[in-house]
């Protein structure tokens, strides 16, 4: 077959890829193992001939599922609830229903498929590193409707994304610690590895140090993983060793700040009298913990709602901004030494 066909069937796919119809069915429906080599060959054939399984084609053409998917890496902390509420609001406003799933992309396994996608949704909102770049590219080549949140699109693939300003707000918060409270030795607690939010916050941290002629010390970089427990154990281990002097902590997010404060208190250190601690996100708990947390207020609900609006614009064929960067602002409370 040398040209694309609007009636290209699963048997045609099997013939072109030199595999059985059963193998194609297993690959499409994720009901069995298919070798990476065979999977790549099937993907190439389906993309070349613009093949979509019949049930999926009907759903995409008629929006029969009336379902939007939200794919997250996890739901371990309170960060996700405002974003979920924002997405759900936009989905409900458009008369659709929402499916939420968690998925950990594994670059070493090609048989590990996400539970939601073109086979059971009309479009999908994808959080951060829920999918690998190669998976996003495959979905894009299939003309599947999607919007990314808290990450940018792979180079050369104009997938719309919604994220927040990270670098400048981090830099301003570090400036505050240095200029207002006289801090000189500030720990930076990294978030999840390879996540863009953490990357840009670290760039802001380094820029603030450089602007104030303070040396960057890699010994003051800890792993917080954007998780309270990870940050607690990371800080506890740091304090138990022959650690360098420090007088403040920029936690990668509020969850990491909670864990850091708990570890500092356990070690007999006072916040903010001995060590200032600041976070990022402004979760609900941050205003009522002791001490109340100085942080960056991130418009997490708006990220979800905007992404939801974008996915429906795409489904309706309307133009959508490729990159949406929402602003953040600083909230000063007691944990940095302010009286707020």
Share of the chain above pLDDT 90, in %: 75
- What CATH number has the domain bearing residue 67? 3.40.50.2300
Highest mean pLDDT among 9-13, 32-36, 149-153: 149-153
Share of the chain above pLDDT 70, in %: 92
Q: Are residues 120 and 177 in the same domain?
A: no
pLDDT value of residue 63: 46
- The CA distance from 151 to 147, in Å, is 10
pLDDT value of residue 67: 95
- The CA distance from 145 to 123, in Å, is 5
Number of domains in the chain: 3
pLDDT value of residue 22: 80
Q: Are 294 and 331 in contact (CB under 8 A)?
A: yes
Q: Are residues 155 and 249 in the same domain?
A: no
Q: At CA 124, angle to CA 147 and CA 58, rounded to 5?
A: 125
Q: Residue 29: pLDDT above 80? A: no
H helix count then E strand count, the chain:
11, 12
Domain annotation covers residue 192: yes
When pLDDT is averaged across residues 60-68 and rounded to a whole number, the result is 68
When pLDDT is averaged across residues 224-232 and rounded to a whole number, the result is 96
Nearest to 97 by CA among 116, 75, 74, 72: 116
Domain annotation covers residue 269: yes
**Rounded to whole angstroms, what are the CA distances from 29 to 26, 120, 289, 307, 319?**
5, 11, 47, 27, 32
Q: Are residues 132 and 224 in the same domain?
A: no
Q: Residue 140: pLDDT above 70? A: yes
Q: Residue 59: pLDDT above 50? A: no
Q: Are residues 145 and 249 in the same domain?
A: no
Instruction: Kindly state the tokens that stand for 263.
Output: 């570890």
DSSP string covering 204-235: HHHHHHHHTT----GGGEEE-TT-HHHHHHHH
Name the average pLDDT for the chain: 91
Q: Are residues 44 and 9 in the same domain?
A: yes
Q: Are 245 and 215 in contact (CB under 8 A)?
A: no
Q: Are residues 187 and 256 in the same domain?
A: yes
Instruction: Kindly state the tokens that stand for 195.
Output: 């996540």
Q: Residue 155: pLDDT above 80? A: yes
Q: Residue 39: pLDDT above 80? A: yes
Out of 71-75, 80-84, 107-111, 322-326, least confident range: 107-111
Q: Are residues 189 and 236 in the same domain?
A: yes
Residue with tokens 């792979």: 154
Residues with Cβ within 8 Å of 105's Cβ and at least 6 positions away in sequence, in order, are 112, 114, 129, 130, 131, 132, 135
Give residue 89's domain range.
52-164+302-326
Domain annotation covers residue 69: yes
Q: Are residues 309 and 160 in the same domain?
A: yes
pLDDT range class, residue 27, cuts 50, 70, 90: confident
pLDDT value of residue 60: 43
**pLDDT single digits (tens) 281-293:** 999 999 999 999 9
Q: Are residues 117 and 156 in the same domain?
A: yes
Domain annotation covers residue 289: no
- The CA distance from 205 to 227, in Å, is 19
Q: Residue 111: pLDDT above 80? A: no
pLDDT value of residue 6: 53
- The CA distance from 6 to 201, in Å, is 48
C-alpha Rg value of the chain to the nearest Å: 23
- What CATH number has the domain bearing residue 23? 1.10.260.40
Q: Are residues 171 and 275 in the same domain?
A: yes
């Amino acid at each position: 077959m040398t040209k694309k066909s609007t009636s290209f069937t699963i048997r045609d796919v099997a013939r072109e890829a030199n595999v059985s119809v059963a193998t194609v069915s297993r690959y499409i429906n994720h009901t069995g193992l298919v070798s990476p080599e065979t999977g790549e060959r099937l993907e190439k054939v389906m993309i070349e001939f613009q093949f979509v399984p019949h049930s999926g084609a009907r759903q995409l053409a008629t929006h029969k599922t009336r379902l939007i998917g939200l794919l997250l890496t996890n739901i371990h902390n309170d960060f996700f609830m405002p974003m979920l509420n924002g997405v759900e609001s936009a989905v409900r406003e458009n008369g659709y229903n929402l499916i939420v799933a968690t998925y950990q992309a594994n670059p070493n396994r090609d048989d590990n498929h996400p539970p939601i996608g073109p086979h059971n949704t009309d479009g999908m909102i994808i959080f951060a590193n829920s999918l690998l770049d190669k998976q996003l590219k495959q979905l894009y080549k299939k003309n599947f409707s999607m919007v990314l949140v808290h990450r940018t699109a792979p180079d050369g693939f104009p997938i719309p994304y919604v994220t927040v300003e990270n670098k400048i707000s981090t830099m301003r918060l570090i400036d505050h610690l240095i200029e207002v409270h006289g801090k000189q030795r500030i720990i930076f607690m990294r978030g999840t590895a390879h996540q863009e939010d953490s990357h840009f916050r670290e760039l802001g941290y380094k820029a603030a140090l450089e602007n104030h002629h303070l040396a960057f010390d890699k010994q003051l970089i800890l792993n917080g993983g954007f998780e309270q427990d990870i940050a607690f154990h990371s800080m506890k281990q740091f304090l138990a060793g022959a650690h360098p002097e420090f007088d403040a902590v920029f936690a990668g997010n509020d969850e990491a700040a909670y864990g850091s404060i708990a570890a500092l208190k356990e070690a007999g250190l006072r916040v903010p009298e001995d060590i200032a601690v600041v976070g990022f996100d402004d979760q609900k708990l941050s205003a009522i913990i002791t001490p109340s947390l100085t942080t960056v207020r991130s418009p997490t609900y708006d990220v979800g709602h905007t992404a939801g609006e974008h996915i429906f614009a795409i489904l309706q064929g309307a133009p959508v901004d490729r990159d949406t960067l929402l602003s953040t602002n600083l909230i000063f409370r007691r944990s940095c030494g302010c009286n707020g």
